[in-house]
Amino acid sequence: MIFLLVFYTIFIFITNNFAQIPNNIRVLSTDKDFIRLSWTKPDRLTSIYGYTIKYRPINSNQSWIVRQTNNTQILLNELRPITKYEIILQAYTNSSYTDSSGPSTRIEAMTDETGNFLFIGYSFV
């Protein structure tokens, strides 16, 4: 009787390009033409290089507007009045900003005429 013993070694490489999802995303204020957002850094990683924010009106065929920042706050300006926006936020741990998949948070917020804000909700993508 012959026994054949085979051992497999599997290497798993986890890329660290994408950080964990930013926390405590809040709409600080809105007006007829801007939305001001803030968030906190992800819990597990301390060296965040920056953030990419993509936004566009909901249910539109408009291309994404992409903004990048190293801060945990951003002003999205030149928006349309009384319009609901879809906003996606991603954190990165290196200078390789890409427009691809990775952990992100999606929120919806609406501009208005009065300066009061309407926060619709958020989901993890």
Give domain status of residue 1, yes or no.
no
State the average pLDDT over residues 71-77: 95
> Domain span at residue 62?
23-124
| Domain-embedded: residue 60 | yes
For position 77, which CATH number holds? 2.60.40.10
Query: Does residue 8 register a pLDDT over 80?
Result: no
Q: Report whether 107 contacts 121 (CB < 8 A).
A: yes
- Report yes or no on 102 lying in a domain: yes
Asked, for residue 63, whether it belongs to a domain, the answer is yes
Q: Is residue 17 part of a domain?
A: no
pTM of the model: 0.71
pLDDT of residue 11: 46
Tokens of 51: 């953030």
Confidence of residue 36 (pLDDT cuts 50, 70, 90): very high
How many domains in the chain? 1
Q: Could you tell me if residue 88 is inside a domain?
A: yes
Residues 6+ apart with CB under 8 A from 2: none
User: Which residue, 79, 112, 50, 116, is CA-closest to 39?
Assistant: 50
pLDDT at 6 over 60: no
